[in-house]
Chain A
Amino acid sequence: MTETLRITDLHVSVEGKPILHGVNLKMTRGETHALMGPNGSGKSTLGMAIMGHPKYEVTQGAITLNDANILEMAPNERARAGLFMAFQRPVAIPGVKMADFLRHATTNVRNPERKEGEDLIPMREFRKELRSRMEQLSIDPEFARRYVNDGFSGGEMKRAEILQLAMLQPKFAILDETDSGLDADAVRLASLSIADIGGADMGLLIITHHDKLLEHNRPDYTHVMLGGRIVETGNGVELANELHDHGYDRIRGAYPDAAANNEAMEKPEQTESAS
């Protein structure tokens, strides 16, 4: 069966402020999509809305996963239905060990009907699987005993996200700037890792500013977001390469309304960072 994540005319507001103005995107499992766009264009907002962050209010439109209405599901139900997002800025959960966190997460995602308090995956079995995944990703075994993202370097956080992706094996995964803050070697490793753990069997939505992360995950489609809409979609990686080499000037020129929207979105961020 073909599995499909479909986003139709999606409008999203944050604290009453509209960010997305009608996003349309259809992904089939097994495809890789690159999502590019300047800062403030709404890429992360799309990810948050798909996962169901309570602050991101869907005011119009639909998200469906194989005909199931995702918008009616709580975030944990979405995760159990097979959706995943690697966070751009993962939060730390002090006192909760990576291994314990993942054991619980993996149990829930693999047994979507699991009720609270029911048994977790047996410890021994889980540890074995986790260890082999960590080995595959060249992650220090000590990682499992550390607290979730607590005191992690930027690179460690991103690797932890990939480890979670590997364990949870979602149907569709959004990778929100999994390459940001990493040096060239680390990005290459991340790109390889995503391919290694079966990225090709998932539907991948890779949000990125660069083309390196795409090296081992060749996109079937590249989308450009501007001012809260997907304004252009191209086959393969060509569009991604063009944007990486030449920036967004052409896109801005071609879609002046969206560009104006984008500028309005970007401005508050700039004043904030300037102050």
Chain B
Amino acid sequence: MTGIAATAGFNSAAFDAFLQNRAEPDWLQKMRQDSWDAFCQMDWPARNSEEWQRTDIRLFKLDRFALPASPPVATDLPASLLSAGVELAGEAVSLDSYGVRSHLANKWREKGVLFGPLDELVHQHGDLVRKHLFARAANPHYDKFAALHGACWSGGHLLYVPRNVVVDEPLLSMSALSDGGVDLGHTLVILEEGAEATLLSEKTSREESAGGLHCGALEVLQGAGSRLRFVHLQNWGKGVWHFAHQKAILERNASLQWTAAALGSRLSKVNQHVDLAGPGAECDVNGVMFTEGKQHLSYHTQQRHMAPGCRSNFLYKSALQGASRTVWRGMIRVDKDAQQTNGYQRNDNLLLSDSCRADSIPGLQIEADDVRCTHGSTSGRVDEELIFYACCRGYTRQEAIRAIVIGFFQQVFDRITIESVREALGQAIARRVQDYE
């Protein structure tokens, strides 16, 4: 059923065939070849490196997966959770690294908005893509995963909003995986000066227990005064390996509201960075993680203040069940010139079982002297006094815990300004709260 196993493994022969099949512009083919060479030369991340010491990937075997070679048969794709009941400006869906369908309403097309599969749009809008792809935000030489992605990216979507165009309906970017499939999607979001958009991004598997590999990247480039609301739901099957580099760069007075919810995957290692590159830029980044079984989710966030007068606010909350584990390592970096910085980061963890574990490592690196940076982190169990109080009002213990856990995440959901998304995430979380005792 999957169309991915036609060429075995990620070897040079397979890569050459992949490259030949794609008939892309020379600059892109060269970029892929460079990344492939880097991939071949690099080792997998060392276990004792700061980034990987808490995330064990010894069981990850790349040769169990293969380059996407032929389009899969797209039947019965999972329904989107985030966009249920929402009037969309456009929708782009991929399956196993292949575009399945995409649509953008005419009224936005007429205004010069681009939205659809990146691999297709690169043909018609090569100059635009070339200017931004792997230019500033994503670095294919960062590590072996980044190099693999740089060489083999396929699928994923481009959103481009021209100057001062305000797209006031959400766009949906959806990537689906078949069991055992590979998603190498690259998402590129370009908002020109004064542009506004809302992007809902959803990653999902056809079955909850499905395996697979995602090795992806996200680049967000925001021009002066642009505003982006970005909601990202990682809801892969429980067997998926998820490696991602995500970075947004904000110019002067740009603003970004970024909500990342991670529910799925067997193991996730995500680097999520925001560069506040122009004065007065601001971002609110919210993360929700809900793990169970033996899931391992690792988020390394960085909010980098490069210019004066910027504000950043990162709030991450995790609830853990079973023997699952989360790692959150947050860093506020303030460059020498970034005076009047206002940076905040916080990570709260709710431990719902005896054998789960949450590592929380906040950090500050500050070179400017006139800044306000604060961080905080908490980890704990559900307070028995809260459970008792709710039970005295007729809640069963289970209902009480469920309400308290949902309430725990509500602080994050409160910061999502799209009601349907708030509800969808709330419901997805509620379904995950398991039985206790």
Contact = CB atoms under 8 A, between A and B. Distances in A.
Contacts of A102: 393
Contact of B393 (A74, A79, A94, A147): A79
Contact of B394 (A52, A76, A87, A91): A76
B406 A96 contact: yes
A168 interface: yes
B18 interface: no
A74 B396 CA distance: 9
B399 A84 contact: no
Given A74-B391, A116-B398, A116-B399, A95 B410 contact: yes
A90 to B, nearest CB: 7
A74 B398 CA distance: 12
A91 B385 contact: yes
A26 interface: no
A160 to B, nearest CB: 11
A147 B391 CA distance: 17
A94 B407 contact: yes
A111 B409 CA distance: 28
B408 A94 contact: yes
B403 A75 contact: no
- B392, B404, B406, B410 — most chain A CB neighbours (10 Å): B392
A168 B393 contact: yes
A162 B389 CA distance: 15
A91 B399 contact: no
B395 interface: yes
Interface of B: 383-386, 388-400, 403-404, 406-411, 414
Contacts of A90: 389
12 contacts: A52-B391, A74-B397, A75-B392, A76-B394, A87-B392, A93-B386, A93-B389, A95-B409, A95-B410, A96-B403, A104-B403, A105-B390
Categorize the interface residue count of chain A. 20 to 34
B389 A109 contact: no
B407 A104 contact: no
B399 A54 contact: no
Interface in A78-124: 78-80, 84-85, 87, 90-91, 93-96, 101-102, 104-109, 116
Contacts of B409: 95
B389 A91 contact: yes
B403 A93 contact: yes
A136 to B, nearest CB: 20
Contacts of B391: 52, 74-76, 79
Given A101-B403, A147-B407, A93 B396 contact: no
Contacts of A104: 394-395, 399, 403
A164 interface: yes
A105 B406 contact: no
Given A101-B403, A104-B403, A147-B407, A93 B390 contact: yes
A206 B410 CA distance: 35
A51 interface: yes
B394 A94 contact: no
- A53, A91, A95, A96 — most chain B CB neighbours (10 Å): A95
A94 B414 CA distance: 12
Given A94-B408, A95-B406, A80 B394 contact: yes
A163 B104 CA distance: 50
Nearest to B408: A95
Nearest to A100: B403
Interface string A46-79: 0000011110000000000000000000111011
A80 B391 CA distance: 10
A95 B389 contact: no
9 closest pairs, A vs B, by CB? A95-B407, A95-B410, A108-B394, A75-B391, A105-B393, A96-B407, A79-B394, A109-B394, A76-B391
Contacts of B390: 93, 101, 105
Contacts of A147: 407, 410
